[in-house]
Amino acid sequence: MIGDSDWFRRVCIRPYASAQSNSEYVDYLNGVAQHLKVDNKKSVPDNPTKIVRVYDARHLSKSGPASYGNASFGFRDVMFVDIEVQSRNGKSLVRRTLVIQDKDGRWYVHPVPDMSPLLCDGLWDESASTKSFGQ
């Protein structure tokens, strides 16, 4: 919501995969960070302006992603969070976000989980969240 490219980089999971995948991921991160630096003041109608609701983090129904993340990259956990946002044009929508607890114990966002199909297996098949965070 704040359009801060440095903050964006700090909350995203570190590059973690093979050379080609890492290169694509780093290119994506660099592209978004550059976009935030250049366009953070522009009023794009679909850009979110406010977080309406954050739902409880949940584990994926399939155990494969968490096991794969741990065995391959040292991730401690893999979960997802549904976040309801309101865009500049007033529309509300729910964004599903993959979150990863890295080996340092901190939680990070994976902004493009589809880059790693084994890590996000089943993410888009999960039911809608119903329990708001903190309730």
- Residue 130 located in a structural domain: no
Q: What is the DSSP string of 7-35?
A: HHHHHBPPP-S-HHHHHHHHHHHHHHHHH
Q: Is residue 56 part of a domain?
A: yes
Has residue 52 been placed in a domain? yes
Decide if 66 is inside a domain: yes
Structure tokens, 100: 């990863």
State which residues form the domain around 29: 5-125
Residue 55 belongs to domain with CATH number? 3.10.450
The verdict on residue 70 lying in a domain is yes
Q: How many domains are there within the chain?
A: 1
Per-residue pLDDT tens digits for 28-85: 898 888 877 776 555 666 777 788 999 999 999 999 999 999 999 999 999 999 999 9
pTM of the model: 0.85
- Greatest Cα-to-Cα distance within the chain, rounded to the nearest angstrom: 43
Report DSSP state, residue 89: T
Residue 83 lies in a domain: yes
Q: What are 100-115's pLDDT values in tens digits?
A: 999 999 999 999 999 9
